[in-house]
Structure 1
């Protein structure tokens, strides 16, 4: 039995144990699969035990692997804490809120209260698909959005926690005929072209959700258009094209527009907290705790059963 074990070998083992797939584990660690397999075999030799059962179809933990896993995680957590302490604390956590004034901002505010010694910095991307690519590139740490709509290659590299079933809404020009209604029945949008980010590579998940929602209802997804940046440009584009915009009920109202909830049925979009697999940071734990706390207080995950006449029950 060796006196010292290289933490790199333990990280290779724990990541493979979490994925039960050598290719995905190697991608998470940004190493070649051959290098990962070599590290796992070296750890097995040093410990004198077999940690995984490997077949052409699956990878599973052996009983020795199951016993080692909690100890390996504790060792790696202690190492992370040591490195953070030597570096003067955890680095700032970059949190993408997508848009100001939404549920994500409330979660961030509560997380800052739960972790006052750590810096949680807000960022604003145009959509979760774009944010996910930034997370995997290391330029963002956390985002919010419809995780079920991400491409598998992105989703498989991320962890996520469901935060809220968000009621959907429509943003209308103030003089649109539907603007006089307090709520807009989904069927009333028949014949309309509704903007849902089509053509924007950063919002693919949102456009896909809209297509599922509108299917069979004679509602079109508006043709691709450059994304309007800033309130004045948004107002100008809305006035010119007059397309309703698919949004959520907490979306900030823009100039010369009204926001109306969609009903009959009430469509719900599953909003998730999303972060890079393997990311260890007190801010992530604070965000997860804040989301769970606010969700329990306000029933974010307990929609009225009468509203579950939904085309969307997506995770």
Structure 2
């Protein structure tokens, strides 16, 4: 580990040797303590003196004594070593929080992390929300995050070889309608029955994995999915659906939404087949964080098998 000081460099091994020599008072004692030769001790001290531009020791018949500059530098050298130890400990195995991207706080993915936290309350978590899969993959490869929940692999966008993925949750879709919608009283609705109805989803963005998912769903079953207008958030979406009998929207079965009592919104399961959104966990193959292994094991224990009978997913989804 090297810290830059001005135009020179400070070697922490030299700082550590200096502190040991100040404590011992003799270079030969430091040689035995650090398991290096006495010549190496002298070279480290000399290099540190050149970096600082001062003499740190002067030789005496009894050994080596600190100069005035050496006495001034000693407390700072000790603090440098303490800071270095704290810095190293902060990124030691399991010391830093596991950083996971859940895309949005109301999605099923946030619920998966919440369940993991309940199962492993002593594991520190740092939850982030990234928009698209390219951003998430770049963050995983750079080490900015440890894992992300995504639908992969998007058409024409395979994951890099150093990124791993496993499918962890197939989430059924529900139709969400207002009380005046013609399907509002249905206990379930088939995909075929949705043809001809306007399904409004302003949160769909081109180039995202959910955009690719709903594009294929619409094309496969002849659905009219509209992404017109600005995405003003879930509250605005709920208000509009509640007040507009001609509009409905899709939401995941585990999406957590709360709406005013007067809205009278209806969640209606979609069947024959059941469209499911395939959530996968992605991570870097060389990530050593022990909590990542715990998360993967936890998800493997709670996830239902993918591609259950009577369900539908796009052809590009990880199998």
TM (norm. structure 1) is: 0.59
Kindly state the Cα deviation for residue 289 of structure 1 after the two structures are TM-superposed: 0.9
The residue aligned with 2:69 is none
Please say if 1:238 is aligned against 2:234. no
Q: For 1:123 and 1:152, how far apart are their aligned partners in 2?
A: 23
Shift of the 159–251 alpha-carbon distance from structure 1 to 2, 3 Å rule, reads same
Q: Which runs of 4+ in 1 moved over 6 A?
A: none
The match for 2:286 among 268, 271, 278 is: 278
Structure number with the higher helix fraction is 1
**1:85-123 CA distance string (max 9 Å, x none):** 464653222222234455433432343355544311223
**Structure 1: segments with no counterpart, 5+ residues:** 1-82
The residue aligned with 1:205 is 209
Structure number with the higher strand fraction is 2
- Report if the CA contact (8 A) 1:197-1:204 is conserved: no
The residue aligned with 1:259 is 267
The residue aligned with 2:305 is 301
The match for 1:174 among 171, 174, 179 is: 179
Kindly state the Cα deviation for residue 177 of structure 1 after the two structures are TM-superposed: 1.4
CA RMSD, 1 decimal: 3.3
- Report if the CA contact (8 A) 1:128-1:205 is conserved: yes
**1:243-290 CA distance string (max 9 Å, x none):** 422222112234233222110111223221122343221221121011
Aligned length: 226
**Structure 2: segments with no counterpart, 5+ residues:** 1-86
**1:5-33 CA distance string (max 9 Å, x none):** xxxxxxxxxxxxxxxxxxxxxxxxxxxxx
Shift of the 137–175 alpha-carbon distance from structure 1 to 2, 3 Å rule, reads farther
The residue aligned with 2:168 is 163
Shift of the 193–290 alpha-carbon distance from structure 1 to 2, 3 Å rule, reads same
Q: For 1:131 and 1:272, how far apart are their aligned partners in 2?
A: 13
TM (norm. structure 2) is: 0.59
Kindly state the Cα deviation for residue 218 of structure 1 after the two structures are TM-superposed: 2.9
Kindly state the Cα deviation for residue 186 of structure 1 after the two structures are TM-superposed: 0.7
The match for 2:230 among 221, 226, 229 is: 226
